[in-house]
């Protein structure tokens, strides 16, 4: 399956202080050992070997306490991976846009329920699509990631840069899948449009908005939105065999997923974001309650215990994200009852499974840390 196709399918499938660094034979501690850190590292080590992974970076927190932060394997091949290496973030960027949206709504800059014609007057059905629909994937805009011409171009040249206009041309090349607000279907197109709305409403690029509203308040100093293939060192190398050869995909252009994943950050920063997201640290209590509520339940396959809203996948008590792009697989899990946060990113080896290889590691860690209520994650 193509890199682009896998991103879409991964999301769809949902609804059917120790630092361990280096290769598998070179795990070393650089901080006082939490009693839970050893079993955590052993689970990661076992799954890395079983899946023939090139590398894995991971972090576990309970509330604000760091339980484990580590890396195993090599990046690039022959060089030990380290926990501070940046990855292509992917899906955890999506609820950042929703958080900015809620904050701008509170400031009177963008109304969640005002038609987007005010900011994108020429976009099809702009008079009935709202920012809330875009954030919830209820707009009905077709997903450009599965559009044949996009797939063809992407597979031929994954280093090519994409603009919002080009991506939306591919999104609107096919008819809408339903009337706005009447159903649910995950679409990267929604994030492209939402990002453009936020930029046009504020006159600021999305990277500046995320820095202002999220990175700076949370101290995420190693995080940034990028509009080219550059990823600042230290970075985890991505590898893939998606084009029928095993290759380094680190510098595939992330603008193919503009506004929905074109961000670089280390695991520690991603963990900081997920903890803030899950506790409403950046929102008012009323905004947080609305953002986390099962507002989309009843649409399509969504239920009060299994739903997607404002860029977040909910599985009962768990928040779940499963990024996948160009040789980087990830999983983010947060249990709202124990405040346990788990972040894992992996890069495959030549014989690794084609599915998201971070998910089995994340779910195994969740089973260790919350044994009475592990998340019901498909593929875990």
Q: What is the pLDDT of residues 98-130, one digit of tens each?
A: 999 999 999 999 999 999 999 999 999 999 999
User: Residue 312 in contact with residue 303, Cβ under 8 Å?
Assistant: no
Cβ count within 10 A of residue 332: 29
In the chain, % of residues over pLDDT 90 = 88
In the prediction, which pLDDT does 172 show? 97
pLDDT tier for residue 263 given thresholds of 50, 70 and 90: very high
Give a yes or no: residue 319 inside a domain.
yes
- Burial of 244: CB neighbours in 10 Å, binned 0-12, 13-18, 19+: exposed
Please tell me the predicted confidence (pLDDT) of residue 27: 42
Q: Is the pLDDT at 6 greater than 50, yes or no?
A: no
pLDDT at 98: 98
* 287 within domain boundaries: yes
Residue 377 included in any domain: no
Total tally of structural domains belonging to the chain: 1
Whether 229 is covered by a domain: the verdict is: yes
For position 12, what pLDDT does the model report? 42
- The mean per-residue pLDDT over the stretch 288-316 comes to 97
* Closest among 87, 88, 170, 180 to 129, alpha carbons compared: 180
Residues 14-67: tens digit of each pLDDT:
444 233 333 343 443 344 578 899 999 999 999 999 999 999 999 999 999 999
- Computed over every residue of the chain, the mean pLDDT equals 92
- Return the CATH number at 256: 3.40.710.10
Per-residue CA distances from 216 to 32, 86, 210, 211, 231 (Å): 28, 17, 8, 5, 19
pLDDT band at 379 (very low <50, low <70, confident <90, very high): low
The per-residue pLDDT for 69 is: 98
Domain that holds residue 274: 3-331+339-369
Residue 375 located in a structural domain: no
Res 378: pLDDT = 75
Where would I find the H helices in 129-203?
A: 131-136, 148-156, 164-171, 188-202
Distance CA 211, CA 265 (A): 13
pTM of the model: 0.93
Cα separation, 32 vs 18, in Å, equals 6
* 207 within domain boundaries: yes
pLDDT recorded at residue 249? 96
Please check whether residue 380 lies inside any domain of the structure. no
What is the C-alpha to C-alpha distance for residues 163 and 161, in angstroms, rounded to an integer?
7
**Residue 224 pLDDT exceeds 70:** yes
């Amino acid at each position: 399956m193509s890199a682009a196709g896998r991103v879409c399918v991964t999301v769809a499938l949902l609804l059917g202080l120790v630092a361990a660094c280096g290769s598998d034979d070179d795990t070393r501690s650089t901080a006082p050992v939490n009693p839970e850190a050893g079993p955590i590292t052993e689970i990661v080590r076992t799954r890395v070997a079983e899946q023939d992974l090139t590398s894995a970076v991971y972090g576990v927190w309970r509330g604000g306490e760091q339980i484990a932060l580590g890396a195993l394997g090599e990046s690039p091949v022959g060089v030990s991976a380290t926990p501070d290496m940046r990855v292509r973030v992917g899906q955890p960027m999506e609820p950042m846009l929703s958080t900015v949206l809620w904050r701008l709504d509170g400031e009177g800059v963008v109304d969640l329920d005002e038609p987007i014609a005010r900011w994108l007057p020429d976009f099809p059905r702009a008079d009935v699509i709202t920012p809330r629909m875009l954030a919830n994937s209820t707009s009905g805009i077709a997903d450009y990631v599965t559009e044949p011409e996009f797939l063809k171009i992407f597979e031929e040249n994954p280093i090519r840069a994409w603009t919002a206009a080009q991506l939306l041309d591919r999104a609107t090349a096919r008819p809408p899948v339903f009337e706005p607000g009447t159903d649910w279907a995950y679409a990267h197109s929604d994030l492209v449009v939402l990002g453009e709305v936020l930029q046009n409403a504020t006159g600021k690029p999305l990277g500046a908005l995320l820095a202002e509203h999220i990175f700076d308040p949370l101290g995420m100093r190693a995080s940034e939105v990028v509009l080219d293939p550059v990823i600042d060192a230290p970075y985890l190398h991505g590898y893939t065999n998606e084009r029928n050869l095993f290759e380094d995909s680190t510098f595939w252009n992330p603008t193919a997923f503009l506004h929905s994943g074109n961000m670089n950050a280390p695991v520690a920063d991603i963990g900081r974001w997920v903890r803030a997201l899950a506790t409403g640290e950046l929102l008012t209590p009323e905004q947080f309650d609305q953002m986390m509520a099962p507002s989309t339940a009843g649409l399509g396959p969504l239920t009060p215990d299994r739903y997607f809203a404002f860029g977040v996948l909910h599985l009962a008590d768990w928040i779940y994200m499963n990024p996948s792009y160009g040789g980087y697989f990830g999983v983010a899990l947060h249990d709202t009852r124990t405040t346990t946060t788990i972040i894992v990113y992996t890069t495959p080896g030549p014989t690794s499974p084609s599915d998201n290889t971070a998910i089995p590691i994340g779910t195994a860690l969740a089973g260790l840390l919350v044994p009475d209520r592990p998340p019901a994650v498909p593929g875990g």
